[in-house]
Amino acid sequence: MLKSARKMGLIFFPAYDWAISPTHPEREERLLYTQDQIWEEGLLDIEGITEFRPGVATAADVERAHFCVPDVAGQTTESHMISAGGAMKAADVVLSKQVDCAFALVRPPGHHAMKVVHGNRGFCNINIEAVMIECLRDRYGTGKIAIVDTDCHHGDGTQDIYWYDRDTLFISLHQDGRTLYPGSGFPDEMGSIGACGYTMNVPLPPHTGDEGYLHVIENLVLPVLEDFKPELVINSAGQDNHYSDPITNMMLSAQGYATLNARLKPDIAVLEGGYSIEGALPYVNVAIVLAMAGMDFSSVREPDYDSKVRKQHPQVTEYVKAVSEMLLLQWKNREELAAKMRKGKSHEERRRSIFYDTDGIMESRRERSRICEECSGSLRIESSSDQGNSICAIHIPKSACGRCHREGLDNYTKASKRDFDWIYLQDRKTGAFERK
C-alpha cells in the first residue's frame, strides 16, 4: 500500500451544480475530469492522504476580509460560501495538526476579489484565501503569513486586500500585465509606504515554461521567504499557466507544477484559475497532490506532453533572470525605499478606478491610510460604483496600535450617512464589524 511522506488533507468541492453561465469557463464541468483522474489514480487510498468535507463560510467570516456592498448576501451565492469554507477547512486541518499540509481543490476561485466588493471580477466574488487567512488569524492567532500566487493572472484582489499589511507577504508570479487580464502586477506595485516590499509582483513574459518558473522560485521566492520567516506559506494555485490553457500564453507542465510545489512546500494550497479542464487540470492536480504529499510524481505527465512541450526560449530565460535579480534587490532595499517615499508624511493617499469585467461595473476608490511605525495603520476607503452605491469603509488592522485604533474608530464615528449609502467598520483588533 502506498504511503505518503507528509500527511496531507484534500478538500475537493467541484460544485457540480453551479456555473456563472452555461458556457462560461467557470462551469459545472470544470473539475469533472480532475475528479476522474484523482479517483482513477486512487489518490485517496494512499495512506496519509485524507479527504475532508468543506465547511460553509458565514457572513461574519467574509466580513473579516471584505466590505461587501451592500452586504455579504448581496454578493455571494452558496457556492462562494462553500468554496471559502473549503479553504477554511484546509487551514483548519493544517493548524489543528491533523495533517502537515492541505490542498483546497474548490471552485469558484477568489484572487481577483478586492477589499471592497461591488460585483464579480475575473470570475471571483470573494477572496477565498483572504477569508481563510483572516479566519485562521482569529482562530489560531497566526501572525506572519506568506501568499505565493502562481495563477497566470495577477492576483490583484489579494494584493489589494493586503496592500497595507506588513504581516502578510504577497508574491504574485503571473503573465506580464501588458499581455493579459487584469493588466496589473508590475514590479513597482510593492505595497503601501507602511508595508513597502510586502507586495511583490513578478511579471513573466509569455511562453515562460517550467525552467523560468522554477528559476523564480529558487532564486527569488525561496530567499525572500527565508528572510521573511512566515509562520505559514499559502499557494494560490492557479493552473492556467499550463501550456494547454485556452486563455493564457504560458508553457508550464504538470511536472513543472509539481516541482514548483515540491520546492515551495506550501502548508496550504488553494485552487484558483485553470481552464484547460481536460488536458491540464487532471494531470496537474494529481501531480500537485503527490508533490504536496512528498511522493514521487516523476511519472505523471500529460498525454500530449512529448509533442507539445518545447524548451523555453533563451530570451525568455534571460528576461526572467533579470526580473528575479531586480526584485530580490528591491526586497533587500525595501526599508530605504519606504523611507524615501515617506518623506515625513503622516498619511498616504491613493485614488484608483477598478473595473469588474464579469459584471461590467466601474468602481472609483479613494484610500487614506495612516503611516505608522508600530502597526500597519488604519485605513479609510471611500468607494462608489457606477451602479450607484457609494460607501465609506474603515479598516483597523489586527496589529493596530492604540493611536491607529482610535483614529479608525474616530473616522467611523465622523463618517456621515448624508455622504454615503453605507458606512462600514471592520475592526480586526476587537473582531467587530459594523455597518451604518
Partner 1 sequence: MIIGIDVGGTNTDAVLLQGSEVLSKIKTATVPDNLVSSITAALDHLLEGRNVRDIERIILSTTLSTNAIVQDRLEGAAMIVSAGPGIDARHYSVGPQYHVTGGSIDHRGRECERLDGYAVDNIFLELGRVQLRAIGVVSKFSTRNPSHEAEIGRKAEKTFDYVALGHAMSGTLNFPRRVATTYLNASTHHLHRSFVNAITKAFSDRGVEAPLFILKADGGTMPLDYSRDFSAFTICSGPAASIMGLMALVSKEHFIGLDIGGTTTDISLFYRGVPLFKPYGISIGNHRTLIRGLLTRSVPLGGDSEVALKDGKIAVGPLRKGKAKAFGGEIPTLTDALLTLGEGGEAHHECARKAMEEIAALRGVSAREAALETVETAAAIIREKVENLIAEVNTRPVYTIREMLEGETVSPDLVVAVGGPSQAMAPWLEKSLGRPVINPCHSEVANALGAALAKVTTELTLHADTEQGWMLIVEKGLKEIIESSFSMAEAKKAALEHIRAQSELMIHDGNDFEFTEEHEFAMVRGFYSTGRNIRVRVQSKPGLTGRVGEEGS
Kind plus residue range of the DSSP H or E element containing 364: strand 361-370
Give the nearer residue to partner 1 in terms of CB position, either 125 or 324: 125
Catalytic residue among 111, 112, 154, 174: 112
C-alpha cell of 132? 481563510
- Min. distance of Cβ 31 from partner 1 in angstroms? 9
- Min. distance of Cβ 217 from partner 1 in angstroms? 24
C-alpha cell of 195? 508595508
Q: Which of 321, 312, 142 is nearest to 219 (CA)?
A: 321
CA 113 – CA 158 distance, rounded (Å): 7
- Min. distance of Cβ 433 from partner 1 in angstroms? 24
Name the residue with cell 462551469.
Answer: 27
Give the nearer residue to partner 1 in terms of CB position, either 53 or 417: 53
- Min. distance of Cβ 396 from partner 1 in angstroms? 33
- In a 13 Å sphere around the CA of 226, the CA atoms on its Cβ side amount to 10
Q: How many helices (H) and strands (E) does the chain have?
A: 13, 16
Give the nearer residue to partner 1 in terms of CB position, either 125 or 208: 125
Give the nearer residue to partner 1 in terms of CB position, either 49 or 116: 49
- Min. distance of Cβ 245 from partner 1 in angstroms? 13
Residues near partner 1 (CB under 8 A): 1-2, 12-18, 22-23, 27-29, 32-33, 35-37, 39-43, 45, 51-54, 56, 78-79, 82, 246, 278, 282-283, 286, 290, 296, 299-303, 305
How many CB atoms neighbour CB 237 within 10 A?
Answer: 29
Give the nearer residue to partner 1 in terms of CB position, either 52 or 433: 52
Give the nearer residue to partner 1 in terms of CB position, either 32 or 214: 32
Transcribe 174-222 into DSSP letters: EE-TTTSTT----TT----STTTTSEEEEEE-TT-BHHHHHHHIIIIIH
C-alpha cell of 310? 518545447
How many CB atoms neighbour CB 90 within 10 A?
Answer: 30
- Min. distance of Cβ 318 from partner 1 in angstroms? 32
CA 103 – CA 91 distance, rounded (Å): 9
Spatial contact of 312 and 251, defined as CB atoms under 8 Å apart: yes
CA angle 90, 91, 97 (to 5 degrees): 95
Give the nearer residue to partner 1 in terms of CB position, either 108 or 408: 108
CA 177 – CA 77 distance, rounded (Å): 30
CA 60 – CA 63 distance, rounded (Å): 5
CA 415 – CA 420 distance, rounded (Å): 8
Active site residue 112: yes
Spatial contact of 357 and 119, defined as CB atoms under 8 Å apart: no
Greatest extent of the chain over all pairs of C-alpha atoms, in Å: 67
- Min. distance of Cβ 403 from partner 1 in angstroms? 44
Active-site residue set: 112
